Amino acid sequence: MSSPAAGAKDQVARLLTLVPYLHSRGHVRLDEAAKDLGVPATQLMKDLKVLLMCGLPGGYPDDLIDVDLDALEGPEADGLIRVSNADYLARPMRLNTTEATALIVALRALRSGAGEQTREVVDRALAKLEAAAATGAEAALVDPGVGAADADQALLATRLQRAADQQRQVLLSYYVPARDERSDRVVDPRGVVNADGHAYLDAWCHLAEAPRLFRLDRIERAEVLEEPITTEPTAPRDLGVGFFTHDSRVSVATLLIAPSLRWVSEQYPVQEVRERADGRLEVDLLVADSRWLVRFALGLAPYVEILSPRESAEALSAAAQQALSNYR
């Protein structure tokens, strides 16, 4: 038998789900809402009666959310949930730094003991709060709108992190704006990381045969597969010290690339980019496999030249000569 404290925590979690659900759908049937939310209709009725006691500070009737219980109980009930006096839920919420921080701490504490569905709701709220608090403004403006891009990314981040925890492969449909190109690729996820205001999936990409960072706002579709990962499980890199792992197996290669290939510096782990007077770019690229580097440069020839290391430059020249002789 669950404790009263556990029951109260579960009910708070359900209310966190219920409020945005009702706000986004307007009138909805009780049985349909119960099915969508995964609770019995009798429990949903109890939650709606608790919702009657919620609202703005003050506690006066005009401050509280109104639920039309007559439409849900009695001989003339039509079974539709009607909620009113909750228009403020659609308005941005202004919090000072202390209030935003307190909510973030409370939500993180709730998340640690919450179920899977509740964690998704909490993640949406955390994404909004942390994005607003990150601006450093005296008052954080938090838009509670449901279906916003940050909420979708929070849900995506939750699914991808779960796939990484379960060591399951993911099929990504990924968009590269610099090339206006979409590609499908299977990856072995390592985890979701954040840097410079963006969330990334750190993963081993089987298409590139190398580790890659995928910006979540450029992932158009992500399907978690049943197949387990085939590479060694590895913790995601710490982007707090930069985008590049300090693994002893990683070395720096300097490439000279044409202006049309500027997208290389956006899609691949680049340490530094220097632009020459003629518009070409010197790119310091982090490389875990010298063989991959040669294949990569050969595929983009003649618009890419390896400046260093010398061994890779010589290997590229030899591979190009071999390719030409094959054509002859």
Which residue type occupies 80? L
Position with higher pLDDT, 302 vs 249: 302
pLDDT value of residue 87:
61
Helix (H) or strand (E) holding 45: helix 41-51
3-class DSSP assignment, residue 281? strand
Q: How would CATH label the architecture of 150-241?
A: Roll (2.30)
Residue keyed to tokens 């985890």: 191
Q: pLDDT tens digit string along 5-30?
A: 446 666 776 776 777 777 767 778 88
Are 264 and 283 in contact by the 8 Å Cβ rule? The answer is: yes
Position with higher pLDDT, 129 vs 194: 194
3-class DSSP assignment, residue 319? helix
Question: Is 0.85 surpassed by the pTM of this model?
Answer: no
Asked whether the predicted pLDDT for residue 145 surpasses 50, the reply is no
pLDDT value of residue 4:
45
Q: Where in the chain is the domain with CATH 1.10.10?
A: 1-87
- Rounded to whole angstroms, the Cα distance separating 299 from 271 reads 21
Q: What is the mean pLDDT of the chain?
A: 77
Which are the contacts of 123, defined by CB distance < 8 A and separation ≥ 6? 111, 154, 155, 157, 158
CATH 1.10.3660 fits 1-87, yes or no: no
Residue keyed to tokens 């982090």: 286
- Rounded to whole angstroms, the Cα distance separating 170 from 154 reads 17
Q: In 159-280, where do the E strands start and end? A: 168-176, 181-195, 198-205, 210-215, 219-228, 251-257, 270-275
Q: Where in the chain is the domain with CATH 2.30.30?
A: 150-241
Asked whether the predicted pLDDT for residue 310 surpasses 50, the reply is yes
pLDDT value of residue 274:
93
Q: Which two tokens stand for residue 307?
A: 């400046």
Q: pLDDT tens digit string along 214-228?
A: 888 889 889 999 999
Asked whether the predicted pLDDT for residue 305 surpasses 90, the reply is yes
Question: Which sign does the torsion angle of CA 290, 296, 302, 307 carry?
Answer: negative
Chain-centroid distance of CA 320 in Å reads 40
User: CA–CA distance from 56 to each of 65, 86, 202, 244 (Å)?
Assistant: 8, 9, 41, 46
pLDDT value of residue 169:
96
Asked whether the predicted pLDDT for residue 81 surpasses 70, the reply is yes
- CA nearest 257: which of 280, 288, 238, 235? 280
